[in-house]
Structures are given as C-alpha cells and as structure tokens.
Chain A
Amino acid sequence: MSSLEADVLVIGGGSTGAGVARDAALRGFTTILVERRDLVDGTTGRFHGLLHSGGRYAVKDPSAAVECIAENRILRRVAADCLEDTGGLFVATPWDDPDYGDLFVKGCEATGVPAEEIPVAEALRREPRLNAEIRRAFVVPDAALDPWKLVWGCARSAEQHGARILPYHRVLDLEVVDQRVLGALVRDEHSGEEFRIHSKVVVNAAGAWAGQIATLAGCVVNVRAGMGVMIAMNHRIVNSAVNRLKFPADGDILLPLRTACVIGTTDVFVPDPDDTEIGRDAVDLLLDEGEKLVPGFREARALHAWAGVRPLFEDTRDVAETRDVTRSHALLDHMAREGVAGFVTITGGKTTTFRLMAEVAVDAVCRQLGVERRCTTAEEPLPGSESHTLYGLDTRLAAREPVPQSEEIICECELITRSRLEQTIKRRATTNLDDIRRLLRLAMGPCQGGFCIYRATGILHHGDRVDHTEANRALVSFLEERWKGLHPILHGDQLRQARLDDWIFQGILDVEHLPA
C-alpha cells in the first residue's frame, strides 16, 4: 500500500476545507485535502449564494453579525472575482412584524452593519417588481457569492503553495495510536485504490458530516444537519439581494445569483445529511413567500430546486428548532475535549465566514504543532481576484461581443464556448459532466441541459480518452442528476421545457437504451 505524507490533512472539500487547505499551505505547511466526492458538491455548492452583510443576524445573533460584516469586507478584496456587488435590501412586507424594523436598526448599529433606510419609492425604483405594499426598506452591503469559483479559487491557491487537492477520495478510517491521530486510510473513488496519508494534524472540515468523521477517531461531535431547500428562478426578478425585515425564517431571502435568482430557504432537521428529499410542501412554501415579495412570482419560471444541509453544531442536546442553534462556527480541539492529539474539528458557521473559520482552525493546528505562523488569507487575493475587480453579471456576454458568431456555443443559456468546454474537460480529466457543470455552470440555464448535454457528451467522447460506453453513462447519469432538481418544481414554462427535452432524449436519442 502506497502512502502520502503531510503536515496537515484536511477532510472536506467545501468552503471550509478548501479555506483551511489554502490557509495552511500559505503558512508553509505541507497540506493534503481529501473530499469523498467533487469539491463544492456538499453544503457550499448547495447554499443560496448570499454573502451576508450581517443584517440577517443583527438582532438574533449579534456575534454572527459582527463576523459577517468583517468577512464581507475582507472577501470583497481577496475574493473579488467570486463576488458580484448586488447590494442588499431588507424590506418589510405587510406580513412582517412592523416593530422589527426598529430592532433591526438598533441591532445593526450595535454590530456595525451599515444599514441605511431609504424611502419605499426608492426601493421600488431599484426593484420595480417588489411588492408595492412594502412599508420600510433598508440598504445593506450584501453581495452574491459564486461558491464554485470561491472553493476552486482556494484549491488552486493552495496547490500553488504546494498543497495536494484530492477530490473523489473518501476517508475510510482514521489511524489513531495512543490517543493521537496519525493520519487516514483513504480510497480513490475512481481507481478503487486504497492508501494511507500520514499527517501531523488532521483537520475535520466535513461540515454536516463532521460527526461521522469524528467517530472514526473515537470523538463525539454533535452536528445536526439542517436541510434547506432553494429554488432557482429562470431570470433575475430582482437585481439586489432582497431579505425580509423580520426574524430569520423560511423563504425570506430572494437574491440574484449570476443569471438566475434564488429563493431560499427552509430549515428542517434530517437524520442523514445524504438523504435530502425535497418535499412539495417546501416548494410551495418558498413559492408562497416569493409571491409576498414579488407579486406574480408563482407564474415566473422555476428552473431547479435543490437542498443543502447546514452543519449545526450543538454542545447541548434537545434543540428543537434548528434556527435557534448559533450560526457562529465551532472550533473543537479534541486534545482539550477528549485528550485526542493531532485532531481538530471546525464546523458550524456559514460560507460568508469560511475564511475566518479556516483561520481559527489553522491557528489551532499551529498550537498543536507548537509553531507560530501568521495567517495571510485576509490580505492575499485568490487567483483571479488580484485586481480586486468584482465579477459582473454581463462578463460572459461582453466576452462574446467583439465577434458574436466567432465560435460555436455549446451551452447557449450560460454562454459556454466549445474551446472553454474542451479546455475544462482536459484540465479536470473527468468523465463526469456534473463536475464540469460546477466549474462552468454547464446546463444550469433554462433548458437544464436539454440542448447542451448531448453536445457536451459528444465532445467528451471526441478525444481518445472516453469510449462510447463511458460517454453514454456520463450522459445518462447527468440527466438523472438534473432530474432530481427538476421534478419538484415542474409546472408552467419549465414543464414545457422538460417535455421538449424529453422528446430530445427519449424520442430522438432513446437514452434509456443506449448501447453499453
């Protein structure tokens, strides 16, 4: 059995894990990150995309609000290319407690979250589709965050500093000798090969799965999975992140994310973070809440629904409502807790504060190793963000503009050219079209792959690497994965699209009977 060596082994390829790997690598530790599936395939890749200003937590969870606004300011500098400066609004609809506005003002003042009240007419001028019955409106520095760019940016930066990033590597066991974690036994999920990684410290950044990992070291981490459902709408119904001016609740955020618009979210405990069935009640609830913010919302086209699981850390049992659990992160040094050395868990928190979580985790690594190395992630920009220019919605359209018909477009909705797709397939060396989707937004537009995925499959097969059996499998598994997010919201325009797509794939290509 072969083995690898590292100072730090990070388990988990979401924003926290990638942030930890980058931070550790920047501080000069040899670092390996393992993720059982692809990067950003878990919670980070399934959140709504809001870079919080802190306004949401200003009343209920002031320390979370303070962290959010501090990290918001830092990420605007170091992760500029992953952010769009949409700005945010908090609006009081007729359904919201009219007294909350004053609490909000006080909370924002106390936590340093800039919130400026604007006349309702001004809010409606900015967002003409908002409910004209809103009573108060505040402007906050929310932004839209592209989770895929963020995590891959961290991963690339970590690699540039010597780290190894290993997606599709599952931790089978942790090696614990004399109350010290010495590393992990992992399996390459593509080749099936098993091998050991020896490390000085293991950082458990497995989010909602952190409890499962901790068990392997004989430790206890109570992380409950709070499932949240989100629905992407076909186009930007609003151009700024719109929050309801009330205590955080279900379906109270509507924000633009790239070409779509996301309504979120719900919050239900699930026993297994891998079992996230989207119920019709959740979809109905979100559409109803959307209707309160934007009249006509239910008639707008829903593209896709998905569910993510928040890692909600509890040190005490018997918490009934997941929203009552703190949204601040938890750093658990298992040496102090259980006397297990070389093992640190960082969990809880939210994507907005991922960098801070990584910082405190690597600080704990330093303490374990008895060294002092300063964190630089608040100053060092991510690859692609060196110019500190925030991403613009129109970037892809502008890139095509000089000669609009110069190159074949494979994914028309998300404006992905053939060369861009080919380069990405080559770089990732993957046969999984869903991996490509997360990198490029392939098939994430209105037709949900109806027109681009058979083209992309052909391109995947075009090289020598992928034979027809694998290409066919890639096509079918992609369609199955997309379908999971389509069937909960199928009505109106998207149902019509799904019928057309169905004719293409079942009627023309007969995908269920492709040659194996």
Chain B
Amino acid sequence: MSDLIRASLDHCVKCTICESFCPVSQVTPLFPGPKYAGPQAERYRGIGVSPDSSIDYCSGCGICTTVCPQDVKIAEINSRARAKLWEERGIPLRNQLIARPSVLGRLGNPVAPLANWALHNRAVRSLVQSVIGVHRDAPMPRFAGRTFQKRSRTHAGAADAPAVVYFHGCGTNFYEPILGEMVVAVLEHNGFRVIIPRQDCCGLPLQSNGNFPAARSYVRRLVANLAPYARQGLPIVANSTSCGLMLKREAHEILGMDDEDLKAVSGSMFDLMEFLLGLHDRGELRTDFGSLPLTVPYHAPCQQRGHGIGKPALDLLALVPDLDTIELEVDCCGIAGTYGLKKEKYEISMAVGKRLFDDIRATGSDIAACDSETCRWQIAHGADVSAVHPVELLHRAYGLDTNGSRRAHAGAAGRRERSGS
C-alpha cells in the first residue's frame, strides 16, 4: 500500500495547483511547497534519510491532496517523509507529549483547576515554551474536570431505538464533554439509541508528529473496540473531523494499515454532519427547528474536506429558521492539530490563519462555527469569537438547550481570556 502512495507521484503533471493552494508556503519560505516537497523531492529520496528537513514545516493540512486534479497523494507522501525524518533523528520530547492527548487528558483532568490555571498563566507558559517548546501564546483548551466518558456512563437511551455508535474522540472527552452531550441529545432527538464504547486516542497526533509505530498501536486498540459494532452493521459517527478521517482513510493510506478491524470501522465511519445530512436526504431527520436569529460565519476545516463529503454542515444549518451562515472561503486556520502549538511554528500558524480571522471579524459576528476542535480553539484565539461545532447550533434550534444560555458550557473554545489569569 505504502508503495502505491509513493507511486502516485507518477500522476503529477507539475500543474502547480497544490502550490497555489498551500496555506503554509504562502506565508513562510521555510516550507518549499507541496509539489516541491512531495512528488518532486520524493524522486530524490532513496533508502537513506532524506536531507530535506524543511518537510517538517508541512502542517499536514492535506489541502494539496484535496485539490490535486491528478490524484497525487501529496500530503500522504509528505507525511511519510516527515515520519522517516523523525524516525532517523528521534522525535523530540515536546512532540511526543503533545501527540498524546489522552495521556495529557488523564493527567490534567483530575487536577483540572490547577492544570487550567497553569496552562493559562503567562509565567508558566513562558517556562513551558523555553523548556518544552510549546509556544506560550498557542491556544490551549481547558480541562473539563469530569470526562465525557464518566458523564455519560449513567446516561440511558431508549432501549428499543435503532443504535448508532458515537466515536467522540479525545477533544470531547477531556475538554468539551458538553459538546458530546449535545451530540447525544441531537441523535436521540432523531430517534437513535447512542452507544458510547470505551475509546482512546485515534493516534492522529502521533502520526502527524512522525511516530507511526505508536500511532498504529493506538489505531489498533481503538478499532478493536469499535469493530464489533461495525460488524453488526451499526453506523459510527464522529464529531471530530480529523479523528474520523484518521479511521476512514489516513490509517490505511498514511500508516499503511490493512487490519480487518480497521477495514470494518472505515466502512462504517461517518462524520457527524455527513450522517445527519444523510438522514435528511432520506427524509429521516427531524426538522422541528425553532428560530435562531443569528449570523454565523462557518469554516470547513481542512480535514473535513479530506472526507470528500462537501460541506454538509451548511446544508443542515440552512434548515434552521432565521439562521444565516456565511461560508468562509479561506482554506485553513493554521493550527493543523498540534502544528501551531510548536514555538517555531506558532507565528506561521497565526499567519496562515490571519485571513480567516480577518474574514470572521469582518462579519461582525461574535460566534463562528467549525467542525474541528483544534480549529475552533485556534479561531477563538485568533479571531476573538466563540467558536462552536455546528451541532451546537442544531442543538439549540431543536430547543434541547434546557438552561437557555447561549453557550451551555464554559467551553474550551470560548473567547480568548485577556486577564493575566
């Protein structure tokens, strides 16, 4: 399989469409661009380690592969080259740490108040920047204290309803459990029983930080938990676009995994918005939406476009009376998972996102919608707005928001805090 990724470089006709869409090479000379680093440089990569360490400045957003009209697996070639680079040089401690969200979550959540104080304290963050290399201004979510898994353990749905399996991912579990509850509520509102299997990280951050062996272990563990449901024919829905994509496509295409469990899970995996729009297409989605007089700019994250499903959130939000969405045309917010956290890449990440932030601000709205958690955290940080998952708007429009507050939780993607807390 991995050879087919490499072999896809044969399809490149040098049209340069990928280069003109690459958000990173547009703002920094440190990354030479996807065509250069991908189908071109790959021809210079033999058995040894490649000399082009500039590959590490690829954020892995995947836009190049999405826009390539010749089906060159540019981002995948680059991911593999990056992994080989780090395999040779040894992955820095920083990258090993930030690539394990579930480990961080298990450490941070029990001491959430302290951890949150520390992660948002200037002095501590300066220290972290100099010792570990995580940029002191990079957006950090807040530990929720009680994980989604714990919160949902006592939750019982209607036993006789058709079942759907919920893959919530680490972001929901440790930082945004209330988002997870909204997902469950929306699915139940549509007549489903939501199964929430035990689950750990999908390995994506490890993959994008070049630790393929560890990433594969995470994938294997996760799909072992999910595969029995897939084999029963149950759909699996994910509200994290990147984690969903990992199981749909990337574990196979980038990590080269061909496990039977993975195949079963890949075939049953739906992005949450894709799933809901599918229901609507079949006339099965409840459309008892109440009025939501809001104007919300919407950003489709890069990884969501990797699903190849269009922008289902826009179609769904259009069903809500009085809700205006503004489709943002900038491709990337810059964060690319853990990329923008790194001290040497933070400025690049913010420069990539600048046009998006400007466009959001220009709408005058103090809320923006985006499917991916790390992108929401970046948008909240860069554009100084509340960033919500589109399902949160559906949740409100369905009137499921029992306490009536505009944001049900002090979400991680809340507006940037200005005080020196």
Chain A contacts to B: CB under 8 angstroms: 126, 128-129, 234-236, 239, 256, 259-260, 296, 300-301, 392-394, 396-398, 400-401, 403-406, 412-413, 415, 445-447, 450-451, 493, 496-497, 500
Contact = CB atoms under 8 A, between A and B. Distances in A.
B356 to A, nearest CB: 23
23 contacts: A128-B3, A239-B46, A239-B47, A393-B44, A394-B45, A394-B50, A397-B41, A397-B44, A397-B45, A397-B51, A403-B29, A404-B36, A404-B52, A412-B36, A415-B40, A446-B10, A446-B13, A447-B14, A450-B13, A450-B14, A496-B13, A497-B13, A500-B15
Contacts of B50: 394, 397
A451 B47 CA distance: 29
B12 interface: yes
Contacts of A450: 13-14
Given A404-B32, A496-B13, 4 more contacts: A296-B7, A394-B45, A394-B48, A400-B32
A493 B10 contact: yes
B130 interface: no
A279 to B, nearest CB: 24
A509 B113 CA distance: 67
Contacts of B6: 235
A401 B30 CA distance: 9
Contacts of A129: 3
Nearest to B2: A128
Interface of B: 3, 6-7, 9-15, 25, 29-32, 35-36, 39-48, 50-54, 70
B232 to A, nearest CB: 36
Contacts of A394: 44-46, 48, 50-52
Taking each of B43, B50, B54, which has the highest tally of chain A beta carbons within 10 Å of its own beta carbon? Answer: B43
A112 B250 CA distance: 50
Given A235-B10, A412-B36, A450-B14, A259 B53 contact: no
A475 to B, nearest CB: 18
Contact of B54 (A301, A404, A493): A404
Complex A-B, nearest 7 residue pairs according to Cβ-Cβ distance, in ascending order: A404-B32, A301-B10, A398-B51, A397-B44, A259-B43, A405-B29, A393-B46
A512 B52 CA distance: 40
B14 A405 contact: no
B14 A446 contact: yes
Contact of A405 (B13, B32, B48): B32
Contacts of B3: 128-129
Given A129-B3, A236-B46, A413-B40, A401 B51 contact: yes
Contacts of B35: 412
Contact of A234 (B10, B44, B46, B54): B10
A445 B43 contact: yes
Contacts of B10: 234-235, 300-301, 446, 493
A179 to B, nearest CB: 56
A450 B10 CA distance: 15
B37 to A, nearest CB: 8
A392 B51 CA distance: 11
Contacts of B13: 446-447, 450, 493, 496-497, 500
B47 to A, nearest CB: 5
Contacts of A500: 13, 15
Contacts of B12: 446
Contacts of A396: 44
Contacts of B51: 394, 397-398, 401
Contact of B44 (A259, A406, A446): A259
A259 B43 CA distance: 5
Contacts of A405: 25, 29, 32
A496 B7 CA distance: 16
Contacts of B52: 394, 397-398, 400-401, 404
A235 B43 contact: yes
Contacts of A296: 7
A391 to B, nearest CB: 12
Nearest to A303: B10
A493 B44 contact: no
B71 to A, nearest CB: 10
Given A401-B53, A405-B29, A447-B14, A496 B70 contact: yes
Nearest to B42: A235
Contact of A412 (B40, B44, B53): B40
Nearest to B10: A301
Contacts of A126: 47
Contact of B29 (A128, A235, A300, A404): A404
Contact of B9 (A235, A239, A392): A235
A513 to B, nearest CB: 25
A394 B15 CA distance: 24
Contacts of A301: 10-11
B318 to A, nearest CB: 38
A412 B14 contact: yes
